[in-house]
């Protein structure tokens, strides 16, 4: 189901809790909501649709990649950039890693450890920040 986007900073700054298989519907709602905003957005975190669970979706090429409980194990190649966010107005400066190693559970709750680079790595970092209650 396509959900409205939360813009309240009070809501966005609350850290999210670990997700469980019972949060599968949250994942589906994130996929549906990202698809509805595909022209303006490359990722979403669950708290942006009002659910304080650690679930994110990022556009990875042609695939919308769902991640439960994502964690950055390692980052390399720090750089400064500007980002926009569907929950905020305008762009803001931030620091990111060019390459990250991430552990996460996929849509079937299978564990993965994978390295991501470039735009998808940037989107994952932005959405994990949301899980931690951090807005750019």
Residues serving a catalytic function are: 127
Residue number with CB closer to Zn ion (116 or 130): 130
Tell me how far, at minimum, the Cβ of 21 lies from Zn ion, in Å: 25
Residue 132 tokens read as 């931690």
Do 14 and 45 form a contact (C-beta atoms < 8 A)? no
Do 43 and 93 form a contact (C-beta atoms < 8 A)? no
Tell me how far, at minimum, the Cβ of 104 lies from Zn ion, in Å: 18
In this chain, which residue has its C-beta nearest to Zn ion?
Answer: 85
Residue 58 tokens read as 């990022």
Q: Is there binding between residue 128 and Zn ion (CB under 5 A)? A: no
Residue number with CB closer to Zn ion (81 or 111): 81
Residue number with CB closer to Zn ion (19 or 56): 56
Tell me how far, at minimum, the Cβ of 123 lies from Zn ion, in Å: 9
Q: What is the CA radius of gyration of the chain?
A: 14
H-helix or E-strand spanning residue 84:
strand 63-84
Pairing of strands 91-105, 63-84: antiparallel
Q: Which of residues 63-102 bind Zn ion (CB under 5 A)?
A: 85
Q: Where on the chain is the footprint of Zn ion (CB under 5 A)? A: 85
């Amino acid at each position: 189901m396509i959900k409205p986007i939360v813009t309240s900073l009070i809501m966005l700054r609350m850290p999210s809790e670990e997700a469980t298989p019972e949060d599968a519907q949250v994942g589906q709602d994130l996929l549906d909501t990202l698809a509805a905003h595909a022209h303006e957005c490359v990722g979403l975190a669950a708290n942006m649709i009002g659910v304080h669970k650690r679930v994110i979706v990022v556009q990875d090429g042609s695939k919308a990649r769902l991640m439960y409980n994502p964690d950055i194990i390692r980052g390399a190649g720090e750089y400064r950039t500007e980002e926009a966010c569907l929950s905020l107005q305008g762009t803001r400066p931030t620091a990111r890693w060019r390459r990250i190693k991430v552990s996460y559970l996929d849509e079937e709750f299978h564990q993965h450890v994978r390295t991501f680079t470039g735009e998808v790595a940037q989107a994952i970092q932005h959405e994990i920040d949301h899980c931690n209650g951090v807005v750019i």
